[in-house]
Amino acid sequence: MVEPTAELVELAGEYGVATDYWDWRGNHVVVSAETLVALLAALDVDASTAEAVGQALSQVRQYRWTRMLPPCAVTRPSWQLPFLVHVTHGQPVRVWIELETGGSRREVAQAPHVEPPREIDGRLVGEAMFVVPDGLPLGYHTLRARTLDAEASTLLVVAPDWLGIPALGESHRAWGFATQLYSVRSQQSWGVGDLTDLADLAAWSGAELGAGFLLVNPLHAAEPVAPLEPSPYLPTTRRYANPLYLRVERVPEYAYLDRTARGAVEKLRAELAVTLAGVDSIDRDAAWTAKRAALELLYSVPRSAGREVAYRAFCRREGAALVDFATWCALAEEHGADFHTWPEPLRHPASAEVAAFRASHEAAVDFHRWLQWLLDDQLASTQQAARSAGMAMGVVHDLAVGVDNSGADAWSMQNLLAQKITVGAPPDPFNQLGQDWVQPPWRPDRLAEAAYAPFRDMVSTMFRHAGGLRVDHVIGLFRLWWIPAGMPPTAGSYVRYDHEALVGILTLEAHRAGAVVIGEDLGTVEPWVRDYLRMRGILGTSILWFEFDYDGDGRPLAPERWREYCLASVTTHDLPPTAAYLAGEHVRLRHSLGLLKRSLDEELAADQAERGAWLDELRRRGLLADGASGEETVLALHRFLRETRCRLLCVALADAVGDRRTQNQPGTIDEYPNWRVPLTGPDGRPMLLEDVIRSERAARLAAAVRVD
C-alpha cells in the first residue's frame, strides 16, 4: 500500500474524505493513496499527481469566495447561526429573511469579522459575517442578500431542536410487530403480501393485541419488468412505491369492469395460484406479471369526474420527478432495466431523444404515473386503517440506504450521484469481509448545491402516509463507506455529509407529519453520533443479542441501562428468527457461505458463550425456568425487553408464529434466497395471514411485550 502525502491528506480532508479510521478490532487504518485518488476523482477532483493535488487545493480554498451566499443554510429555533457573505470589496450589503408563510421580512444583523479581501477572477472580493437570529418559526425560508450590483438567495431551513415521539407524548411506551410484507400472504393476495394485507395486519394487532405501530420493510419501487430485484433495500427509486403491493380488487375502477374484463382478471389470479401452488418461495416475477396484466385492464376503465380531478391533482403535485420516473419505467419495458445498456441518446433524461420517446409513448408513461396514484391512495387507506384500530402511530415505513446503480434514480439523478463508486460497509463482527451494497451514493457537494431538494422530496413523500420512518443505516446521514469501482469493500473509506442539514430536513418533515424517526444505528458507529441523534430526538435501535456491557463486566446490559429513546427488539431481518438464533443456525449458515474469518468451532464457541450469558441473565431475573421450552425462552427474551426503559418495543412477526428461516443473509446475493422466504410456522409450513390472526402463539408473544 502506498501511503498518501501530506498534501493529498489535506485535499481529501477538504472534501470530507477520511484518510484514516479505526476498524472493528480497534486497529488504526491508514487509507491508501490509491483509494483517496479514486474517491476524489468521483468528486471531479484530479489528485493523480503532486501538481494536480496542489492545483486542486488552491481551487477548493477559494471556492467559498466565489459565492455571495452558501448553497444552503440550516438552523434551529434555539440557534443563532453565523454565515459568510462575499461581495465586491467595499460595497455595502443588506441581508434579510423571507418566511415561508409570507409576512414581514426579518432583517439579519452583521457580526464582527476580520478577513482580508481576495482577488477572485480579477475582482477584489470581501468577506462579511452575518448571523441568522434565533426564535425563527420552523419551515423552509429564503435567505436573501443584495449589494449595489448583485443579488443572491439561498434556502434557509429551520428544523426542530427536538423531535421525540409526537404520538406518544413524553412518558408513554408502545409495542408493535415488524414484518416483511411480501412474505405475509393472505387468501386474497396475489402470491405476495400487499397493502390490504398490511391494513388487515394493522387492524388485528392494533385492535385486538394493543399494538401501537407496525413496522414494515421498504416499499420502494422495483423494476417494472422481470426479473424483479428481490431485495427491498436495493430499489430502483426511494421516492415512489412498488405497484407489486397493490391489491387489484381495491382499485375503485374494479367495480366498473364489464363481465368479460372481470372474468379475465379472475382468470389471471386463478392461473397464478396454480403456478405458485407448492412453491416454497416468493415469486415476485410471476406475481407481478399477472397483477400487471390485471392492472392494465383496470387502466382502460374510464374514471369518474371526481377521480379524474384527483388524478390530475396528484400529477401536478408530483411534477417532473414523477414524469421522469414513469418515463424510465416505459423505457425499461422496451430496453431493459439497466439504463447503461440503452441506446446512447436515451441514457440521460434531459436528451431530445428521451423527450421524443415520452411523446410517442404517452399512454405507457401515463400508466406508470397512474400506478403511483393508486399506491398513494392505498397507502393512505392502510395508515387510516391502522389509526382507526387504535394505533398511536400506525404504519412505520423503512427508508433504504440507497438505490440500484442501474435504475430510475440513478438515471434521473446522474448529476447528483457519484459515478464509479458504490456504498457498503467495512468489516465488522458480523460481516468480517465487509459489504458492497452496489448502490451509488449522493455526492455531498452536488446535494448541497441542489439545496437538498431531492432528499427533501423523498422524505416528505415517505411521511405523507406514515406514523414514523425507520432510517436504515442512519449513520449514512453522517458518513458513508465509499468503495471505488473494481476494489473490494476493505479498500474503501468514509466520506462525510452535512449531517446538520440532512438530519434537520428529516426532523422538519417528521414534525410536519407528527411522526417519529428511528435510526438504525447498529454496526460501526462513532459514539458522538448516537449522542447527537439522541439530542435531536431521533430514536436509536437496540438488538438484544448485541447489548452487552462492553465497558464493564461484559455481561448482558442491565435493562435499566438500555437507552430510553430507542426501538428495542430481540432480533432483526438480518438475523434468523429467535428460535433459530438460539440454535446457532446463523453461525452455521455463514460458515457454509464462506463468510467467516475464524473457524466454525471458534465462532460457535463465541456465539454459545453470548447466548449462554443471556439465558443466565434471564434465569437470574426470574424470567426463565430451567428446562424451559423453545417458545418459553422466546417469551422470556421479550419479557426482558419490557423491563427496559425503551420507549418502543418491536416484535418480529416471524418470532410471533415460530418461524425459523432468516429473511436475509448479509454479504450474499444468490447464495441464499434472500428476501424470498415466505412466512412459515415452526413446522416449516407456509402460514397465511388468516392463520397468523388465529395464532394463539402470536397472542402470547404480544402479551409478553404489551405496555399500557
The pLDDT of residue 243 is 98
Assess whether 262 and 361 both reside in one domain: yes
Assess whether 272 and 326 both reside in one domain: yes
* CA 147 and chain centroid, separation: 42
Interval 369-382 mean pLDDT: 98
- As a whole number of angstroms, the distance between CA 601 and CA 497 comes to 41
The pLDDT of residue 371 is 98
Interval 681-704 mean pLDDT: 96
Is the pLDDT at 708 greater than 90? The verdict is: no
Question: In CATH, what number is assigned to the domain containing residue 578?
Answer: 3.20.20.80
Domain assignment present for residue 690? The answer is yes
Is the pLDDT at 690 greater than 90? The verdict is: yes
Assess whether 644 and 523 both reside in one domain: yes
Q: Which residue has the cell 384500530?
A: 389
The pLDDT of residue 216 is 98
The pLDDT of residue 524 is 77
- Per the CB < 8 A criterion, the answer to whether 348 and 390 are in contact is no
Grid cell of 68 as nine digits: 455571495
Show the domain range for 648: 174-220+370-400+455-473+503-705
Closest CA to 253 of 289, 327, 206, 306: 306
Grid cell of 494 as nine digits: 468514509
The pLDDT of residue 430 is 65
Grid cell of 200 as nine digits: 388487515
Assess whether 382 and 522 both reside in one domain: yes
The pLDDT tens digits of the residues spanning 388-433 come to: 999 999 999 999 999 999 999 999 999 999 999 999 988 877 677 7
- As a whole number of angstroms, the distance between CA 547 and CA 618 comes to 14
Assess whether 313 and 189 both reside in one domain: no
Please tell me the total count of domains within the chain.
4
The pLDDT tens digits of the residues spanning 113-157 come to: 999 999 998 999 999 999 999 999 999 999 999 999 899 999 999
Assess whether 134 and 186 both reside in one domain: no
Is the pLDDT at 688 greater than 70? The verdict is: yes
Assess whether 655 and 579 both reside in one domain: yes
Q: For 398, phi and psi rounded to 5 degrees?
A: -125, 130
Assess whether 202 and 326 both reside in one domain: no
The pLDDT tens digits of the residues spanning 482-499 come to: 999 999 999 999 999 999
Domain assignment present for residue 235? The answer is no
Assess whether 56 and 72 both reside in one domain: no
The pLDDT tens digits of the residues spanning 470-485 come to: 999 999 999 999 999 9
Assess whether 127 and 41 both reside in one domain: no
Phi-psi domain of 123 (left: phi exceeds 0; alpha: psi -120 through 50; beta: other): beta
- As a whole number of angstroms, the distance between CA 634 and CA 546 comes to 16
The pLDDT tens digits of the residues spanning 195-254 come to: 999 999 999 999 999 999 999 999 999 999 999 999 999 999 999 999 999 999 999 999
Residue after which a domain boundary falls, among 344, 367, 390:
367
499-513 vs 453-463: helix axis angle to the nearest 10? 30
Give CA separation, 29 vs 19, 250, 490, 542, 674, in Å: 9, 55, 11, 27, 32
Domain assignment present for residue 315? The answer is yes
- Per the CB < 8 A criterion, the answer to whether 401 and 472 are in contact is yes
Domain assignment present for residue 493? The answer is no
Closest CA to 187 of 199, 178, 197: 197
Cβ-proximal residues to 451 (8 Å cutoff; 6+ apart), any chain: 71, 72, 154, 155
Domain assignment present for residue 104? The answer is yes
The pLDDT tens digits of the residues spanning 243-271 come to: 999 999 999 999 999 999 999 999 999 99
Interval 564-577 mean pLDDT: 94
Interval 351-376 mean pLDDT: 98
- As a whole number of angstroms, the distance between CA 215 and CA 394 comes to 9
Domain assignment present for residue 405? The answer is no
Residue 585's SS3 state is helix
Amino acid at 461: T
The pLDDT of residue 152 is 97
Interval 92-96 mean pLDDT: 96
Residue 141 forms beta bridges with which residues? 156
Domain assignment present for residue 421? The answer is no
Assess whether 275 and 381 both reside in one domain: no
Interval 427-446 mean pLDDT: 87
Q: What letter does residue 70 receive in the DSSP assignment?
A: -
Assess whether 526 and 605 both reside in one domain: yes
The pLDDT of residue 259 is 96
Residues in the chain: 708
- As a whole number of angstroms, the distance between CA 657 and CA 687 comes to 8
Domain assignment present for residue 178? The answer is yes
Residue 651 forms beta bridges with which residues? 177
Is the pLDDT at 288 greater than 70? The verdict is: yes
The pLDDT tens digits of the residues spanning 592-623 come to: 888 777 888 888 888 888 899 999 999 999 99
Phi-psi domain of 366 (left: phi exceeds 0; alpha: psi -120 through 50; beta: other): alpha
